[in-house]
Amino acid sequence: MPSHSACAFLAIGAWRVSPAVKTGIRWSTNRPRVLRGSFALALAVASAVVPVVPVVLLTEGGADVSATALVAPAVSAPLARTAAATYDATRARGDRGSTRPGYGRVRRRGPERTGPSDPAPTIGRVTSPRPEPLTALPPLALPEPDATEAWLRARTDDGLAEARAIVERLRAEPPADALAALEQWDAVTRALSNVAAAGSLLGNVHPDEAVRDEGDRAEQEVDKLATELSQDRALHDTFAALDPSGLDAEATRLLERTLRDFRRAGVDRDDATRARIAELNDRLTELDQTFSRTIRDDVRSIRVAPERLAGMPQDWLDAHPAGDDGLVTITTDYPDVVPVRTFCRDAEVRHDITVQFLERGWPQNDAVLRELFALRHERAELVGHADWPSYDAEVKMIGSGPAIPAFIDRIADAAREPAERDVATVLARLRQDRPDADALTSADAAYYEELVRKEQLDVDAQLVRTYFEFPKVRQGLLEVTGRLFGLHYEPVPDAPVWAPDVTAYDVTSTADGSPVGRIYLDLHPREGKYGHAAQFTLVDGVAGKQLPEGVLVCNFSRGLMEHDHVVTLFHEFGHLVHHVLGGHGRWARFAGVATEWDFVEAPSQMLEEWAWDAEILRSFATNAAGEPIPADLVARMREADDFGKGTAARVQMFYAAMSYYFHAERPDDLTARMVELQQKYSPLRWIDGTHMFASFGHLGGYSSAYYTYMWSLVIAKDLFSAFDPADLFDPEVAGRYRDRVLAPGGAKDAADLVEDFLGRPYTFDAYAAWLSSAG
Ligand SMILES: [Zn+2]
pLDDT digits (tens, 9 = 90+) for 136-180: 799 999 999 899 999 999 999 999 999 999 999 999 999 999 999
CA of 596 to the centre of ligand 1 (A): 13
**460-479: average pLDDT:** 95
Judged against a pLDDT cut of 50, whether residue 479 lies above it is answered with: yes
Cα angle value 131/137/142 (rounded, 5°)? 140
Judged against a pLDDT cut of 70, whether residue 23 lies above it is answered with: no
CA of 272 to the centre of ligand 1 (A): 40
Q: What is the 3-state secondary structure (H, E, C) of 607-657?
A: HHHHHCCHHHHHHHCECCCCCECCHHHHHHHHHHHHCCHHHHHHHHHHHHH
Cα angle value 663/664/666 (rounded, 5°)? 60
CA of 550 to the centre of ligand 1 (A): 14
Judged against a pLDDT cut of 80, whether residue 119 lies above it is answered with: no
CA of 410 to the centre of ligand 1 (A): 24
Rounded-to-integer distance, Cα 708 and Cα 159, Å: 34
What is the pLDDT, as a whole number, of residue 774? 65
pTM, 2 dp: 0.83
CA of 582 to the centre of ligand 1 (A): 16
CA of 654 to the centre of ligand 1 (A): 22
Judge whether 171 and 185 are in contact, CB under 8 Å: no
**1-21: average pLDDT:** 25
Quickly state the pLDDT bin for 1 (edges 50, 70, 90). Answer: very low
What is the pLDDT, as a whole number, of residue 110? 34
Beta-carbon neighbour count of residue 80 at 10 Å? 34
CA of 601 to the centre of ligand 1 (A): 5
What is the pLDDT, as a whole number, of residue 280? 97
What is the pLDDT, as a whole number, of residue 461? 84
Cα angle value 740/741/747 (rounded, 5°)? 85
CA of 90 to the centre of ligand 1 (A): 9
Long-range contacts of 626-632 (CB under 8 A, 24+ apart): 628/467, 629/464, 629/467
3-class DSSP assignment, residue 408: helix
Each residue of 501-526: pLDDT tens digit?
999 999 999 999 999 999 999 999 99
Q: Please, what is the average pLDDT of the chain? A: 84
- Domain ranges in the chain? 8-294, 299-359
**701-712: average pLDDT:** 96
What are the distances in angstroms from CA 597 to CA 466, 707, 711?
37, 11, 10
What is the pLDDT, as a whole number, of residue 328? 98
CA of 125 to the centre of ligand 1 (A): 33
What is the pLDDT, as a whole number, of residue 599? 97
**745-757: average pLDDT:** 97
What is the pLDDT, as a whole number, of residue 125? 31
CA of 115 to the centre of ligand 1 (A): 15
Nearest Cα to Cα of residue 126 among 250, 255, 248, 251: 248
What is the pLDDT, as a whole number, of residue 19? 22
Say which residue, 462 or 69, is predicted with more confidence: 462
CATH 1.20.1050.40 for the 8-294 domain, yes or no: yes
Judge whether 555 and 532 are in contact, CB under 8 Å: yes
Rounded-to-integer distance, Cα 301 and Cα 397, Å: 41
Judged against a pLDDT cut of 80, whether residue 353 lies above it is answered with: yes
CA of 544 to the centre of ligand 1 (A): 28
What is the pLDDT, as a whole number, of residue 44? 30
Judged against a pLDDT cut of 90, whether residue 29 lies above it is answered with: no
Quickly state the pLDDT bin for 460 (edges 50, 70, 90). Answer: confident
Each residue of 615-671: pLDDT tens digit?
999 999 999 999 999 999 999 999 999 999 999 999 999 999 999 999 999 999 999
User: 83-87, 414-418, 713-717 — which is least confidently predicted?
Assistant: 83-87
Each residue of 313-347: pLDDT tens digit?
999 999 999 999 999 999 999 999 999 999 999 99
CA of 709 to the centre of ligand 1 (A): 10
CA of 708 to the centre of ligand 1 (A): 12
CA of 490 to the centre of ligand 1 (A): 25
Quickly state the pLDDT bin for 14 (edges 50, 70, 90). Answer: very low
What is the pLDDT, as a whole number, of residue 741? 98
Judged against a pLDDT cut of 50, whether residue 56 lies above it is answered with: no
CA of 597 to the centre of ligand 1 (A): 11
User: 32-46, 548-562, 607-621, 626-640 — which is least confidently predicted?
Assistant: 32-46
**208-232: average pLDDT:** 94
What is the pLDDT, as a whole number, of residue 303? 98
CA of 185 to the centre of ligand 1 (A): 29
What is the pLDDT, as a whole number, of residue 447? 96
Rounded-to-integer distance, Cα 446 and Cα 454, Å: 12
